[in-house]
A and B are shown apart, each in its own frame.
With several copies, the nearest count.
Chain A
Amino acid sequence: MAFLDITRLEKFYGTTHVVKDFNLAVEKGEFISFLGPSGCGKTTTLRMVAGFETPSSGSIRIDGRDVVNLRPNQRNIGMVFQAYALFPNLTVAQNIGFGLKVAGRPRAEIDERVREMLGIIHLPELGGRFPFQLSGGQQQRVALARALAIRPKLLLLDEPLSALDAKIRVSLRQEIRAIQKKLGITTIYVTHDQEEALSMSDRIVVMNAGVAEQVGDPFTIYNRPATRFVAGFVGTLNALDAIVTDPATGSITLDGQPIRLNRPIDAAAGASIGLALRPETLALGPRPETDGSLRGTVRDVQFLGSVLRVRVALDGQVVALDSFNTAALRPPAVGDAVEVSFATADVLVSDG
């Protein structure tokens, strides 16, 4: 039996069905992300685990014990909020020690744990400061230390990095992951940022309209999306229409240009099917390792910094392709006739 076991969880607000038949088994020490757009039910699910919301039905078992009827302060769960939620009237050390003080632990133990926690978050000298004297990134690290100081069974993080600047966000997500691995604490992380979820998680739960659409490791989620929603939400995607010419060999035509996928397609000849290609699997010009190609003219070129996004117009449809920018190579000009190459193995096929 898993360490955290959520079965048949349902939540209604009035007649609105916000979480639908949610099932998840989390192993001890795992880092799980709930990823989805706002309003998809990810935060509601997390809050049901924390005890701030009551499920309409279903069970939540932590370490074998059903916690649905326990109050939040009885669940021994550490929680980190988007808004930091440090107590403004307490110092950093008092904030971190708050949970232990409430539990009535002796003063020496509290001091020792606070010192240890300040070390873990690399702010050993800031114990005497008040929250308003800290930067956003420091405040969130203190919030993490406070949640971990009570040695919780479960750590829950609700979009903890959304309020921070881009550069701090990147460094803090590495730090959170490192601390989580070091302490081996089972963690659920809620985010709408696919890069965060992909870079931090052991497994990701992609949610949409209250439903867990796919559960899997980052590589699988990105490269083998189970549903159209997952494919569109995680990463960028070219969605193209093609017509099947020979289902057995996987021969199709895309805007009149033939492509041979070299694998059978589950559709009749003459049927229309949908193709999905990620911009980074496409390249300008022929390459030895690719076995598919399309010809078109450059529609526009966007310089995004490390990446150059070129949109190539075929006969009606447009494909976007990403390539790394190199100082030596100037980008192609709009209107140039170009060849786009790709590996047919990277082409995802869905029914039209």
Chain B
Amino acid sequence: MKPSRIWAWLALAVGALYFALPLIGTIEFSLRMRRGVYSFDAYRAVLSDPQFRATFSFSVFMALMTIVLGVLVIAPTAYWVRLKLPRWRPIVEFITLLPLVVPPIVLVFGYIRLYNTSSWLPLTGTAGGTNLLLLAGYTVLALPYMYRAVDTGLRTIDVATLTEAAQSLGAGWITIMARIILPNIMVAILSGAFLTFAIVIGEFVLAALLNRPAFGPYLQVLGANRAYEPAALAVITFAITWACMGLIQLVTRLQKHTQVPR
């Protein structure tokens, strides 16, 4: 074996140590609720908990809303920046990275200050209003991933020339967006949506501070008070993640025009 090969395997071994071992440990632990034998008792306990169902479906709903809002805001923006404001790209990219480096807590403080019950727009006064704030916060959190995904998708097609070709054939902006741009970056949008979903499902700080019944706080509370159930929950979350991944693969395969790498 060449020394170069050894490096590659070493890197892979390090990767496995980091990821596989903790995961296997967690799975093994989640099966040991019943003393002495492996069982699914912890999973049964988690899945039958009505609070689990309530918080999980709340978070799923919020995640889907975040994805819709994110796509509607980000896809046209990223397209426009690529097409007409290429010199602004570094600035826009920097802005979209801000949520990664500004702690979410700053965001929440700001929101609470701006929209508290005594402000001009008392959103925190009602559950619906607070949900709206939460949605806005989630969209900001998802921004870096969504923007990067969409921008990567746009990079694989020749945005400027396709737009000009469609224009010369008489198409307006809405037609171009709906018939040419969106279909061609659908896979990229899905991968961004998938990341968004995962992030919103696991998010803790925003939901806790705005006091909404989301999955993240439920996970933390469970983690602090129980032994085996959190492990089971972690495994479930992980399984959902993989299911989403598989779904994206499936969609990619079904898209005829991307069957073969171009």
Contacts and interface: CB of A to CB of B under 8 A. Distances in A.
B169 interface: yes
A73 B158 CA distance: 19
Nearest to A90: B257
B165 interface: yes
Nearest to A132: B262
A87 interface: yes
B157 interface: yes
Interface stretch (A98-106, A182-190, A267-275): A98-106
A136 to B, nearest CB: 12
A88 interface: yes
B15 interface: no
Interface stretch (B56-64, B74-82, B100-108, B170-178): B170-178
B161 A81 contact: yes
Contacts of A76: 170
Contacts of B158: 83, 85
A325 to B, nearest CB: 37
Interface centre among A73, A77, A90, A146 (most CB of B within 10 A): A73
Contact of A79 (B168, B257, B258): B168
A143 B162 CA distance: 11
A77 B157 contact: no
Q: How would you classify the secondary structure of chain B's contact residues: helix, strand, loop or mixed?
A: helix
A52 B171 CA distance: 14
A51 B260 CA distance: 31
Given A79-B164, A85-B165, A132-B260, A102 B170 contact: yes
Interface string A210-245: 000000000000000000000000000000000000
A50 interface: yes
A85 to B, nearest CB: 4
B104 to A, nearest CB: 37
Contacts of B258: 88
A130 B256 contact: yes
B41 to A, nearest CB: 49
B85 interface: no
A102 B171 contact: yes
A103 to B, nearest CB: 6
5 contacts: A85-B161, A87-B166, A89-B255, A99-B171, A130-B256
